[in-house]
Amino acid sequence: MYQKGYGIIDTLAPLHVGATAGEESGNLNLIFRDQFTRTGIIPGSSLRGRFRSEMRPKRQLWLEKTLADRNINIPDPSEREIVEILDNGQENRISRLNWLEKKAKELKVEPPKEIDENFWYGTSADSELSDSTTEAIVKFEYASLLWIPVFCPGQPIVWVSSPKLLKRYQRIAGEFVTLKDGTKLKDIKPSLLRISNIQVLKL
């Protein structure tokens, strides 16, 4: 059974999440939008991919150190692709990480779960016909827009929202979000919501 959790993502730079290829129009890379509110969203798959990419280098470093400790000859770090000679004499190019994974599998070595992105976010299929995928321990729903930074002459950036978006956020996350004064989000009036009262998660 999954446990739910909610938070705020504070983007530190302009963010553009493009729509899928089928939704593009010519050279226009449309914004990925919620089908009901038509506001910009970040798909859960994009969030998961970002967390996965943050964890992957840690696992690779662990594999390199572990294999080196076992006296395995590891190619130079500058080699991003490793060339293998197959039994039929043909060359096979694989990524450095895949090469490390292959050697670790031969030695029956597995990285600790806390640095294994495949454990937390699921194993990708090797091909379209592969059934080697695993279910993720951590799942992400899409992130929907709540506040928009707007330039205001003579003042710093002003955060703008709408009653509709604030009420929606309170309805979805009110039970799980606690304000700085200890009050549950669900227990306050939407008109009293302020960005300064909400704990912000910076990524």
Contacts of 109 (CB under 8 A, 6+ apart): 63, 66, 67, 70
- Percent of the chain predicted with pLDDT > 70: 82
Of 88-92, 105-109, 147-151, 173-177, which one has max mean pLDDT?
105-109
pTM recorded for the entire structure: 0.69
Rounded (10°) angle between helices 96-106 and 44-69: 60
- Which of 38-42, 127-131, 137-141, 150-154 shows the lowest per-residue confidence on average (mean pLDDT)? 127-131
Contact between 7 and 174 under an 8 Å Cβ cutoff? The reply is no
Beta strands (DSSP E) in 56-175 are 81-85, 91-95, 143-144, 148-150, 158-160
Of 42-56, 85-99, 149-163, which one has max mean pLDDT?
42-56
Where residue 61 falls among pLDDT bands split at 50, 70, 90? Answer: very high
Q: How many other CB atoms are found less than 10 A from the CB of residue 170? A: 19
Burial of 138: CB neighbours in 10 Å, binned 0-12, 13-18, 19+: middle
Contacts of 129 (CB under 8 A, 6+ apart): none
How far CA 121 is from CA of 45, 46, 111, 115, 133, in Å, comes to: 10, 12, 15, 11, 10
Contacts of 64 (CB under 8 A, 6+ apart): 74, 100
Q: What is the mean pLDDT of residues 12-20?
A: 75
- Which of 50-54, 64-68, 129-133, 152-156 shows the lowest per-residue confidence on average (mean pLDDT)? 129-133
The rounded Cα 82 to chain-centroid distance in angstroms is: 28
What's the confidence (pLDDT) of residue 202? 37
Contact between 97 and 67 under an 8 Å Cβ cutoff? The reply is no
What does the pLDDT look like over 167-195, one tens digit per residue?
888 888 877 777 777 878 777 765 565 55
Residues in the chain: 203
State yes or no: pLDDT of 130 exceeds 70: no
State yes or no: pLDDT of 24 exceeds 90: no
Contact between 85 and 93 under an 8 Å Cβ cutoff? The reply is no
Among 199, 196, 202, 201, residue whose Cα is nearest residue 178? 199
Q: How many other CB atoms are found less than 10 A from the CB of residue 28? A: 10
What's the confidence (pLDDT) of residue 59? 93
What's the confidence (pLDDT) of residue 87? 77
What's the confidence (pLDDT) of residue 148? 83
